[in-house]
Copies of this chain bind each other. A is one copy, B any other.
Amino acid sequence: MKEHTEGVNINWLDQVKWDDKGLVAVVAQDFKSGRILMVAWANRQALSLSQQEGRAIYWSRSRQKLWRKGEESGNVQLLHHIQLDCDGDAVCYQVEQIGDVACHTGRQSCFYRQLTASDSGPQWLICEDVLKDPAQMYQTNAKE
């Protein structure tokens, strides 16, 4: 629905500031725990379909296609809220993560590496266990 009534009721998708590739950054957050699960991208269709279908849908930049999160792994993200930031160039999906695993590595969150001091300077250390074997999550070898 697109109505331009003195600018008041413009289409919600027009209020998103799409980048030069037609994308917007999306942060998925577990709506209960607050854990940041992943950062991905959405184009206009992905965001619109997310709203319509009530699940997190992204645009896969590597595969250049719509990515219904969980379509291969089963780790669907049920959408509770969609939020937009002040300048419109970032979106937050508040989700319920089915299977408790968002990352293709089998971890709850994609942000499982933390910068940690060491004798040889800062290093990224893995600080989260694998909950599911990725080989079991995916029927094919395709990585989400």
In the assembled complex, which residues on chain B have CB atoms less than 8 Å from the CB atom of A105?
86
The answer, yes or no, to whether A137 is at the interface (CB within 8 Å) is no
Interface size, chain A (Cβ < 8 Å): 41
Among the listed B25, B81, B103, B123, which residue makes an inter-chain contact with A12, where contact means beta carbons less than 8 Å apart?
B123
Q: Say yes or no: A86 contacts B115, CB within 8 Å.
A: no
In the assembled complex, which residues on chain B have CB atoms less than 8 Å from the CB atom of A81?
114-115
A85, A104, A107, A124: which has the most chain B beta carbons within 10 Å?
A85
* Complex Cα gap A103–B88 (Å): 13
The answer, yes or no, to whether A73 is at the interface (CB within 8 Å) is no
The answer, yes or no, to whether A111 is at the interface (CB within 8 Å) is yes
